[in-house]
Structure 1
Amino acid sequence: MAFTVHQGRVLRDGVPFTALGVNYHPSQAGCRLWSEWNPQVVKEDFRRMAADGLNTVRLFLFWRDFMPRPDDVDEEALARLEWAVAAADEAGLACVLSLLTIWMNGQLLEVPWRAGRSPWRDPELLRAEEMYVRAVARVVRPHDNVLALDLGDELWNIDMAEARRLSRDDVAVWQRRLADAIRQEAPGILVTQADDASGVFGPEPYGSDNGAALDLVGVHGFPPWAPVPIPSTMSYEATNLVPFLARFASAHGTAMVDELGSYGVDERTAAAYLGATAASLLAGGAAGALVWCWQDLASRDEPYRERPQERRAGLHHLDGTPKPAMHTLRKVVRAADDLALRRAPASTLLYLPERVRGRGHSYLDGPGSVPATFQAYLMLKRAHLDFDLVTGEPPERAYLVCPAPTRLTLTDIERLTAFADRGGTVYLSLGDHLHAFPGPEFVGAELVDYELDPVGKSALRWDGGTWPLDWTTATVRPTTLRATTARVLATYPDNSPALLEHRVGAGKVLFSNAPTEQQSARPGALTGAPWEEFHRRLARRAGVAPLLDGLPPDVEIVSGTGRGGPRTVLINHGRHPVRLEHGDEPGRSTELAAKEWTVIAPEEAEGAPR
């Protein structure tokens, strides 16, 4: 096969390949693509995609069309699939093929003979699934434009109750069985699994951190359905959501954003959202993005009778004319070589504990800490601190951030201690005083007790700065610390310690019991106080400086090497325009509209905006 994965990137014939394309249903046929087959329409749509500069199309293989009976795969459907893959190749498009498609737009397009049985544990279904994926792999094997086979889009929604009963090993074994079957028929083909945001934020056994058998980690999310509060589609949080999902997935493999788009907004908002989000996720290292979806749908069949508004999410109107979001996507495509940066290792690490997604359902188990990790991600971005997300043993860097974990295992504590012992600085905030307090020997303080009433702890005061605290949206209980060997850096209004500094080996630990990263449930918590300055102060104690001083917090900065050499990407994630002054050229400035982005080459870097 032409596609390979190397160091978190997709290569095609050894050359970096950034997948930029769309999810596709023909407008008239919709989800009946394979049963109401119209090759002329498909071919023309592929031609239009390529003319717009796109290089990838995702096709959904509805399992009921390809396997109407449990003991054989429909030859006519396979022939139509092979024709579609060849037509895409002729147009210059790579293909992502989603195999076990039952769930679509909130409805089950059911395989009639499944009869409610588990897709992951029922022996007969497992045999049928393997027969099916082998048949598809054999058909596409001669075609070198197949980027990946997706085991199935959000397929856990086929039976969520059963999916949650699975163990992580159950999921891993199921993925390995089908991935191995595919590779036996088509050696070298890439395999992925497309998951929604629950595969990052939720405690379920499937997700970005449980895909050892996969070549690509498929992720996607939409602001209205985010597991964390997103104030609006035009908010700072919204256009950072999918880039965060991709960065989280990248800590576990090569991330591919398999769906990207917005719902419930006007065309101008949809375009603005798409531009900032796509630029950010590509600059952050995602292998590509496939927009939802190609064109508004005229189909009136399922699933659109139940959810007719799903028909309005296209990049083109029903008559084929492009919406503003299509113009935005073209701009992203033209700049892809500059946006797809190869970043140098950052001096700061954002650490993902072993139980960051939760796991466990006893009274001892609280929620996971991914929402706090997302909040820390946003704060570090606003502070313009470059960082890498890391899981497992942290590499040697200057500074490690571990935000509000709700559980620290002994392995986590050993890793954090070793990082400090080697001379690094660890910032740890408390996410659960029972299961995430690492001990007095690590933080230089004892927990006195907890109090449900946060009286006296309404703010964190540090060296002339004050940061308000809202305990009502936090899961951690207010606690009182007694410093033993640590130095007190910040206090609450009741004068008890709120931030400590403690020497550990050759390094140090900065520890806070404030709900700094657990306030995300309150709209305005992120931007209502200068949390970026709080994190800059912490970083300075680790000897780490921002990428650039003086940038507005809403502007993301990413520096690295693109296809054409060193590049810096600036993205305004805010809902208002910003003016960036050129430091070495008085009177010269650059204005970025809401959600606008730009790329700066080295020759433009002197006097760059700040």
Structure 2
Amino acid sequence: MSFTVCDGRLLRDDRPFLVQGVDYHPSSAGCRIWTEWDPGAIAHDFERMAEAGLNTVRFFVFWRDFEPEPGCIDMDMLERLRHVVDTAAQAKLACVISLFTIWMNGQLLDLPWRQGRSLWRDEDMLALEEKFATAVAREVGGCDNVLAFDLGDEIGCVDPVEAAASTAEQIADWQARLAAVLRLEAPNVLVLQANDASGVLGPSPFGADNSAALDLIGIHGFPVWAPGSIESTLSFKATNLTSFLVRFASAYGVPLVDELGSYGVDDATAAAYLRASAASAIGNGASGILVWCWQDIAAEAEPYADRPMERFAGLHRLDGSAKPVMREYRRIIGAATELATRRPRPSVAVYLPQRVRAHSGSYLDSGTATLATFFSYLLLKRAHIEFDIVADDLTGYDLVICPSVAHVTLLDLRKLHAVCARGGTVYFSLGDHIHGFPGEPMVGAEIVDYAPPSAGKSAFSWDSDEWTIDWAATRTRTTTLRPTTAEVIGRYLDGSPGLLQRRVGNGRFLFTNAPFEAQLDRPERLTAAPWERFYRRIAALAGVAPVAACPDPDVEILSDDRDGCRRLVLINHGVTPSDTEISWGGATARVELTTKDWTIVHVRPEEADR
């Protein structure tokens, strides 16, 4: 038996496998699972997981417990690890094993002998890591319920300064080196790297776009720690965050949400957050979900003495009773295969330029620009326009969206020119007027100069539509354009060009010097006005229609065709209930959804033709 990935899907013995599980520490022992050994408690917890319908458990190998002295691996600890894996097998649970666990719940549970040496660049440490990985893989790699080895939970947090000093190439080499060791001993086990949101929305070299050596890309969905203006756990942005991270990671590999949860909220809020975010993540292509975490923690030892509130993020209370969030998770589990859509290829792509996640290497660089990608994602969702997020091949897309671009390369420009040459439409908004400007030949205009924001450029209009621009919300300088060969289709209040259209090949290039997406990064701004109308108009120019007509922008619509039937997965990301009408293909349905709720609508062909 083996786990593999093929065509963007996770398989077990060549059959689709959707991870539905939890992250796990025993409640009484917490992070001392290996030193305060209680196999009976672990077996009891695993049996309860299986009874709840879960199929996977993720747990953590605290390296210091297994290797108290450099090169001296404790064989008793390896036997305990094997016992946990075998116990999971008895409960029919697959295992995700996090190696090299040092960082946990905001604290370092460090090796006393590491003495600050780099995990990624120190050759002596690398040799010890290879030896430890080999020992673990030999012990459990032959177990047919081991799904994946995680190289280390949020391992960049072990030494943030050293991680920032490491290049993407060095981290990629580290991942490839350890993955090769693990695969040599355990060829049927996958390899992933579990990263927080900085792997997409920040400059960390541990990123979704730096994962070529990995089989799965780990995603963590905690809105409270995500950058940007996420107003609350129940905001529209919050419950769309994880699915965005999934779609972003899908541009580079197969995403697995290996941590999903909420902190600092009451039971009802936690349940509502999981209800919408989990349904959306599965519907948007996650290979599965592991919820943080199984049960509240009774242990008071490190890291809980320092961060006691980390103890109360469980699906169950200390007495073992289920919280409302667990009831919602069981509902998700019961419908998971229905929620997992196989979307037909859309005609719209959000393009990720080569340098979209580059960190500032010098005064010339603008920094990470993926928050603008997030807002582009949100606008398309609110406009009900289906799309892919694409980092490479743009062949076959009728509309390519490049949001608030801070850095564009010659290769990027060649790809975009090819889209236009074959008759497609490219929409490009400016995020940096030096390194993000596509050039006069593409735009059909030149930049005259930059200046401080002024009332004259506080809004631009396109026919009867007008959009305000909050320049202060971005790093983009306010510029003035001088058209050369482009047609002006939108103007600022001062009369200067704000939106240009130029014929390129058989297609068109639409350009605005306003950072339209990035300037939405203010609390409440996204939902305060119908910004998605701008995207609908751009899509209409490209001949692209919404997947369905729906007047409520808070409702996400995912569709696919299965067994001759059209299915619509509808998720209300709004902070209030939704009572709306969905129309598509000649069919209409009235849908009522409570706050953060979801439903699945099936439509037979004969109904759609009426």
Tell me if TM exceeds 0.5: yes
- SS for the counterpart of 1:344 is coil
- SS for the counterpart of 2:174 is helix
- Which residue matches 2:14? 14
- Which residue matches 1:406? 406
* In structure 1, distance between residues paired with 2:123 and 2:372: 40
- Which residue matches 2:592? 591
* In structure 2, distance between residues paired with 1:27 and 1:604: 51
- SS for the counterpart of 2:355 is coil
- Which residue matches 1:458? 458
* In structure 2, distance between residues paired with 1:320 and 1:604: 47
- Residues 59 and 97, structure 1, Cα contact 8 Å, conserved in 2: yes
Higher mean displacement: 162-171 or 534-543: 162-171
TM-superposed deviation, 1:368: 1.8
- Which residue matches 1:546? 546
- Which residue matches 1:247? 247
- Residues 368 and 405, structure 1, Cα contact 8 Å, conserved in 2: no
Q: What is the 5 A alignment of 1:418-437?
A: 418-437=418-437
TM-superposed deviation, 1:115: 1.1
TM-score for both structures, normalised by structure 1: 0.97
- Residues 338 and 564, structure 1, Cα contact 8 Å, conserved in 2: no
TM-superposed deviation, 1:206: 2.1
TM-superposed deviation, 1:528: 1.5
One-letter code aligned to 1:598: T
- SS for the counterpart of 1:481 is strand
* In structure 2, distance between residues paired with 1:602 and 1:82: 48
One-letter code aligned to 2:535: H
Distance 1:258 1:544, change over 3 A: same
- SS for the counterpart of 2:404 is coil
One-letter code aligned to 1:593: T
* In structure 2, distance between residues paired with 1:386 and 1:503: 25
- Residues 63 and 111, structure 2, Cα contact 8 Å, conserved in 1: yes
* In structure 1, distance between residues paired with 2:606 and 2:308: 48
One-letter code aligned to 2:100: L
Distance 1:582 1:289, change over 3 A: closer
* In structure 2, distance between residues paired with 1:75 and 1:169: 34
Q: Deviations over 1:538-584 (max 9, x none)?
A: 00000000011134100000112569964210000000001123659
TM-superposed deviation, 1:603: 3.8
Q: What is the 5 A alignment of 1:93-108?
A: 93-108=93-108
Distance 1:227 1:575, change over 3 A: same
Percentage identity across aligned positions?
Answer: 55
Give the aligned CA root-mean-square deviation in angstroms.
1.7
- Which residue matches 2:322? 322
Q: Deviations over 1:506-564 (max 9, x none)?
A: 11011011121112331122112211111000000000000111341000001125699
TM-superposed deviation, 1:393: 3.1
One-letter code aligned to 2:456: G
TM-superposed deviation, 1:15: 0.9
- Residues 371 and 520, structure 1, Cα contact 8 Å, conserved in 2: no
* In structure 1, distance between residues paired with 2:121 and 2:562: 45
- Residues 342 and 560, structure 1, Cα contact 8 Å, conserved in 2: yes
- Residues 468 and 529, structure 1, Cα contact 8 Å, conserved in 2: no
- Residues 337 and 563, structure 1, Cα contact 8 Å, conserved in 2: no
Distance 1:374 1:583, change over 3 A: closer
- Which residue matches 2:36? 36
* In structure 2, distance between residues paired with 1:583 and 1:304: 51
TM-superposed deviation, 1:221: 3.1
Q: What is the 5 A alignment of 1:104-503?
A: 104-503=104-503
Q: Deviations over 1:74-125 (max 9, x none)?
A: 1111111111111111101110000000000110001111111111122221
* In structure 2, distance between residues paired with 1:588 and 1:254: 34
Structure 2: stretches of 5+ with no match in the other structure: none
* In structure 2, distance between residues paired with 1:520 and 1:287: 30
- SS for the counterpart of 1:280 is helix
* In structure 2, distance between residues paired with 1:452 and 1:128: 55
Q: Deviations over 1:121-176 (max 9, x none)?
A: 22221111111111111111221111100000001111110111111111111111
Distance 1:271 1:606, change over 3 A: farther
Distance 1:333 1:74, change over 3 A: same
- Residues 172 and 211, structure 1, Cα contact 8 Å, conserved in 2: yes
* In structure 2, distance between residues paired with 1:258 and 1:353: 26
One-letter code aligned to 1:23: D
Q: Deviations over 1:185-235 (max 9, x none)?
A: 111320000000111112222211111111001111311111112011010
TM-superposed deviation, 1:2: 1.5
- Residues 350 and 387, structure 1, Cα contact 8 Å, conserved in 2: yes
Higher mean displacement: 133-142 or 19-28: 133-142
- Residues 208 and 217, structure 1, Cα contact 8 Å, conserved in 2: yes
- SS for the counterpart of 1:526 is helix
Distance 1:172 1:267, change over 3 A: same
Q: Deviations over 1:254-292 (max 9, x none)?
A: 000110000011100000000100111111111011000
Higher mean displacement: 534-543 or 478-487: 478-487
- Which residue matches 2:602? 601
The reply on whether 1:570 has 2:567 as its aligned counterpart is no
- Residues 340 and 562, structure 1, Cα contact 8 Å, conserved in 2: no
One-letter code aligned to 2:552: P
One-letter code aligned to 1:519: Q
- SS for the counterpart of 1:69 is coil
* In structure 2, distance between residues paired with 1:429 and 1:600: 36
TM-superposed deviation, 1:182: 0.6
* In structure 1, distance between residues paired with 2:139 and 2:112: 24
Q: What is the 5 A alignment of 1:504-583?
A: 504-561=504-561, 566-581=566-581
* In structure 1, distance between residues paired with 2:328 and 2:563: 21
Q: Deviations over 1:359-398 (max 9, x none)?
A: 3421111122101010110001100000000002312211
TM-superposed deviation, 1:607: 7.2
Distance 1:176 1:315, change over 3 A: same
Distance 1:607 1:319, change over 3 A: farther
- Residues 339 and 562, structure 1, Cα contact 8 Å, conserved in 2: no
* In structure 2, distance between residues paired with 1:235 and 1:520: 14
One-letter code aligned to 1:458: S
- Residues 22 and 57, structure 1, Cα contact 8 Å, conserved in 2: yes
* In structure 1, distance between residues paired with 2:125 and 2:598: 48
Structure 1: stretches of 5+ with no match in the other structure: none
- SS for the counterpart of 1:403 is strand
- Residues 399 and 424, structure 2, Cα contact 8 Å, conserved in 1: yes
Distance 1:328 1:372, change over 3 A: same
Distance 1:587 1:597, change over 3 A: closer
TM-superposed deviation, 1:33: 0.4
- Residues 587 and 608, structure 2, Cα contact 8 Å, conserved in 1: no
Higher mean displacement: 310-319 or 217-226: 217-226
* In structure 1, distance between residues paired with 2:141 and 2:239: 37
Distance 1:61 1:560, change over 3 A: same
* In structure 2, distance between residues paired with 1:27 and 1:244: 32
One-letter code aligned to 1:597: W
One-letter code aligned to 1:425: T
TM-superposed deviation, 1:484: 1.7
- SS for the counterpart of 2:316 is coil
- SS for the counterpart of 1:258 is strand
- Which residue matches 1:79? 79
One-letter code aligned to 1:399: L
- SS for the counterpart of 1:358 is coil
Higher mean displacement: 454-463 or 155-164: 454-463
